[in-house]
Amino acid sequence: MEINLISDTFTKPTSEMLKFMMSAKVGNDVFDGDPTVIFLQDKLAKLFGMESALFFPSGTMANQTAVKIHTQPGQQLISDKWAHIYNFEGGGVSFNSGVSCALIDGDRGMFTAEQVRQYINPDSIHIAETRLVAVENTTNKGGGACWNINELIRIKSVCDENNLAYHWDGARLFNAMVVKNEMPKQYGELFDTISICFSKSLGAPIGSVLLGSNDHMQKAKKIRKLFGGAMCQVGYMAAAGIYALDHHIERLADDHQRASYLGEVLNRNPYIKKVEPIETNIVIFNLIDELDDQKFIESLQREKILISSMGNGKLRMVTHLDFTDEMLEIVIKVLNNLKI
Ligand SMILES: *Cc1c(COP(=O)(O)O)cnc(C)c1O
């Protein structure tokens, strides 16, 4: 049995999810004719108290579309230096939207309203115009950290004062909500746009959604087409999202517990230098300086346990729907008996 802790994107649909997908009523979504896609979009818009939602093939495309509808070429967005939209979307914000990024040196992928204020450019012919603030919650490279909603509210005020759009990259948004015990509507009222992934911790094979006003989603639909993301009978995939919303949110607490347990076990072992604080399903740690990351990864691989490196000595494990208690026991045994 192979145990994959590289990412929560490796999950396979459960047989119940597959059954639900197979029985979806579909139509041509390019012509707004897929009832299952429309159902998912409406369900999410309602859940977040936002006007409209749009289905996308990937979180990257949803984020890139959000940046595109909020900015013009030459303008600038503000994000954390670890943000997915800056680091892991192929440089898309400059390619697709022609914008530059002002990168805040935050804490585990999060920053403060005061920092945002410092990064807003003055009105000048010499300097790029600041137009958008993008936050990520939970943070990916920041180890699944969750924002304090009060800071998000303070940043919203800074955005309002300075006429900036406010986007939330919520690839793992429901992980944050489960931990913080907050309601979707509390977030819906803060942001201009929110992206959500179903293919991460929610266990769907494909699919993301962008939420926003009717006007923004009208624009987003044109951009999605331009990016090549308008799809025909895609209700089969939207069905996986509907199933995940109904069945896979509460169980995220189990993933979080397993991640926290892995962190405790790592912390007790002499080969570990540091484990980052664990709030959700991501465990990031460093080995002591004498040890080689690659060799550590390979010694786990020999035991059929797969983990990944994030560079700069950071190693990562991500718990998910297909990582069971039985697998957790195996991983713990291996970690405690590792000869390196
Ligand atoms: C995974 C991820 C995305 C989008 O990824 P896709 O693979 O394109 O769906 C966006 N933001 C964050 C923080 C992510 O972790």
Provide DSSP, 34-93: -HHHHHHHHHHHHHHT-SEEEEES-HHHHHHHHHHHH--TT-EEEEETT-HHHHSSTTHH
- Please check whether residues 155 and 302 belong to one and the same domain: no
Q: How many Å apart are CA 262 and CA 19, to the nearest integer?
A: 33
Q: Are residues 120 and 212 in the same domain?
A: yes
182 and 35 part of one domain? yes
Domain limits at 269?
3-8+251-336
Alpha-carbon distance 337 to 244, whole Å? 36
CATH code where residue 47 lies:
3.40.640.10
Q: Whose CA is nearest to atom 3 of ligand 1?
A: 59
**pLDDT for res 89:** 97
Cα–Cα nearest to 49, from 176, 213, 189, 232: 189
The reported pLDDT for the residue numbered 38 is 98
pLDDT of residue 1: 86
Same domain, yes or no: 228 and 263: no
What is the mean predicted confidence (pLDDT) over 141-154?
Answer: 97
Q: Which of 8, 10, 60 best tests ligand 1's pocket when mutated (most atoms within 8 Å of CB)?
A: 60
Candidate from 168, 169, 198, 308 with most ligand 1 atoms within 8 A of CB, to mutate: 169
Q: Give pLDDT tens digits for 92-101.
A: 999 999 999 9
Last residue of a domain, one of 196, 217, 247: 247
Same-domain status, 122 and 230: yes
Q: Is the CB of 140 under 6 A from ligand 1?
A: yes
Residue 161 has a pLDDT of: 98
Q: Is 276 found in the same domain as 226?
A: no
The last residue of a domain, from among 208, 231, 247: 247
Q: Is 279 in the pocket of ligand 1 (CB under 6 A)?
A: no
Question: Is the pTM above the cut of 0.85?
Answer: yes
pLDDT tens sequence across 235-265: 999 999 999 999 999 999 999 999 999 999 9
Residue 9 has pLDDT above 80, yes or no: yes
Per residue in 46-95, pLDDT (tens digit) is 999 999 999 999 999 999 999 999 999 999 999 999 999 999 999 999 99
Domain count, the chain: 2
**Is there an atom of ligand 1 within 6 Å of 60 CB?**
yes
Do 276 and 240 share a structural domain? no
CATH number for the domain harbouring residue 294: 3.90.1150.10
Distance from Cα 208 to the centre of ligand 1, integer Å: 9
Confidence bin at 340 (pLDDT 50/70/90): confident
220 with 325, same domain: the answer is no
- Domain ends where: 186, 214, 247? 247
